[in-house]
Structure 1
Amino acid sequence: MTSMTGGCQCGRVRYSAEIDDDDAYLCHCRMCQRATGGVSIAYKNVPEEKLTWESAPDWYQSSPIAHRPFCSQCGTPLGFAFLKDNQNVDLTVGSFDDPYRFKPTQHYAVESLHEAWIDTRDLPRMRSDENDNVSKRWMDACGKLPD
């Protein structure tokens, strides 16, 4: 069991979670697509008793059966949880401070899957620091590139 931390982009909402494996999954349901603005979202399922909110998130009831933690200051989506009989919270993989250990083990809600976005290995790749326009904006604004 490993203790891992995470939170929103601005740092107002923070959490720690006890993680016992590297399994994660991709959800393709239309509600998650709308809630995140993406074609899918990567989640790590965590038992509720293994999750501690160091600073509380805001919650949005996104359907009659579920609600989602998020930060109302910066808008970061942090997860998903059922309203009733819930024992787990799905945390967004990207909200972990060190998300790199997680590996997708399944796709969920494949009826809404955007197939063209699944296998992107042949697309050209560019590092953020190779984009001169964006790099210059960061350097002008704060003298360094983001982490």
Structure 2
Amino acid sequence: MGDNVQKLSGGCQCGAVRYQVTGEVGHPHLCHCRMCQKASGNFFLPLIGAAKSEFEWTRGEPSWFHSSKPVRRGFCGTCGTPLAFDTIGDDHISFTHGSLDDVAAVTPVEQSGVEGRVSFYGHLFELNETQSNRDDLPGGINDVTATNNQHLDHDTDHWEVRGG
């Protein structure tokens, strides 16, 4: 087994769709192409590859959108979390880095689609940093914490989808 062999789990925000990877992962990268920006609603989409034979949906199934003829993108049909990038006919699948239970378990090694990278990307770490207290909400961060419907960052035997 290579150095990249890991047992990883992850899933969507609401817990309706979960997955597990039990083999080598590869090519963790940030994709800056416009399709990935739109699919993630972000400046880039972090993706990690795995052999389909070592990747399993363990709870539920994603909904799929064909962003082009050869590529479909998987997402939770309940909460909308982007989960996968699948090239039809390929024996590998890419899953979203942010959907991992332990996001820090894999480190990106490359940036791709850089022709679509936003001009201010290189200056993001120069921005002022604050911790969120959500004082813009009536109950602040305490209300967010007390009413959190997000699935736990580990597998569970059962999870009732909440929120919505």
TM range (shorter): 0.7 to 0.9
> Aligned match of 2:143 in 125, 140, 145?
140
Please name the residue that 2:129 is paired with: 125
CA RMSD of aligned residues (A): 2.4
Query: In the aligned structure 2, how far is the partner of 1:107 from the partner of 1:136?
Result: 39
Stretch deviating more after TM superposition (136-145 or 14-23):
136-145
- List 4+ stretches of structure 1 deviating above 6 A: 144-147
Structure 2: state its 5+ residue gaps: 153-164
SS in 2 for 1:25: strand
Please name the residue that 2:69 is paired with: 64
Q: How does 1:11-50 map to 2 (within 5 A)?
A: 11-20=15-24, 24-50=28-54
1:19 to partner: Cα distance: 4.6
Stretch deviating more after TM superposition (89-98 or 18-27):
18-27
Structure 1: state its 5+ residue gaps: none
Higher strand share: 1
Q: How does 1:91-106 map to 2 (within 5 A)?
A: 91-106=95-110
Higher helix share: 1
1:67 to partner: Cα distance: 0.3
SS in 2 for 1:91: strand
SS in 2 for 1:78: strand
Identity %: 31
Q: For the Cα contact (< 8 Å) 1:138–1:144, is it kept in 2?
A: no
Number of aligned pairs?
145
TM-score normalised by the chain length of structure 1: 0.86
TM-score normalised by the chain length of structure 2: 0.78
1:119 to partner: Cα distance: 4.2
